[in-house]
Structure 1
């Protein structure tokens, strides 16, 4: 698997991919301008994208990460997330944060990479989205906040 990951401007962010991770284009646009967007390509095909926002001098938040459905379960999401983890470790980040639903493959995905639950944002999905969001037929209500803390020995 050959994967090229590079930063792109918010204008060039692949909105159709980002909408797979966050169903609100308005919300994506609201955080895209103040964030860094990375795209992952295999050959000439963009297979994934993610958006990361600074939360202070040494804390960053992964706002969204998505892989095109035709390329899911191929290791691209894992490679992209690991690249982001390494990138922010190398720029001196103290921690990387992410918010996700309270169940499903996304939660396990982040936990496999060392993220740990640090808080719960109750009713986040019902208070911040006009339409209910369902995952595997179950409505999402609360957001789990997860944190990956870097250590000097390479967390």
Structure 2
């Protein structure tokens, strides 16, 4: 049996919206396209079920924001002090404290290709 190297958690926000609640890739295999592949699977699921959009919230600091933007997500909102008000202990990305959550969205119909060719 192999080891788990990536995971994502999805939540149905309604009949048209699927949210990525959590997504993680083992640090030892980051940078090899697995995250983009996982986003393509999320898109495939959303498309198969009939969702119109995929949303995700992430910290305003760190590599995650650039990753989602690179994969076609666009900013649509901000939750100020989200990580301060919803977590009992401070969260840091490197030396920087994480405070705000940025919300990103990607329309399912317009997302034909996320990170790899679909056959």
**TM > 0.5:** yes
Q: 1:28-43, aligned counterparts within 5 Å?
A: none
| Runs of 4+ with deviation above 3 angstroms | 152-155
Aligned length: 113
With normalisation by structure 2, the TM-score equals 0.87
Instruction: Compare relative contact order (CA 8 Å, sep 6+) and give the higher one, 1 or 2.
Output: 2
Tell me what 1:116 maps to: 74
Specify whether residues 52 and 119 from structure 1 end up closer, same or farther in structure 2 by C-alpha distance, changes over 3 A only: same
Task: Give, in angstroms, the shift of residue 113 of structure 1.
Answer: 1.2
Task: Give, in angstroms, the shift of residue 44 of structure 1.
Answer: 2.0
Please, what is the CA RMSD of the aligned residues?
1.7
Specify whether residues 153 and 128 from structure 1 end up closer, same or farther in structure 2 by C-alpha distance, changes over 3 A only: closer
Unaligned runs of 5+ in 2: 114-119
Task: Quote the Cα distance in structure 2 between the aligned partners of 1:101 and 1:131.
Answer: 15
Tell me what 2:28 maps to: 70
Q: Does the 8 Å contact 2:57/2:104 carry over to 1?
A: yes
Q: Does the 8 Å contact 2:18/2:55 carry over to 1?
A: yes
With normalisation by structure 1, the TM-score equals 0.68
Unaligned runs of 5+ in 1: 1-42
Larger helix fraction of residues = 1
Task: Give, in angstroms, the shift of residue 80 of structure 1.
Answer: 0.9
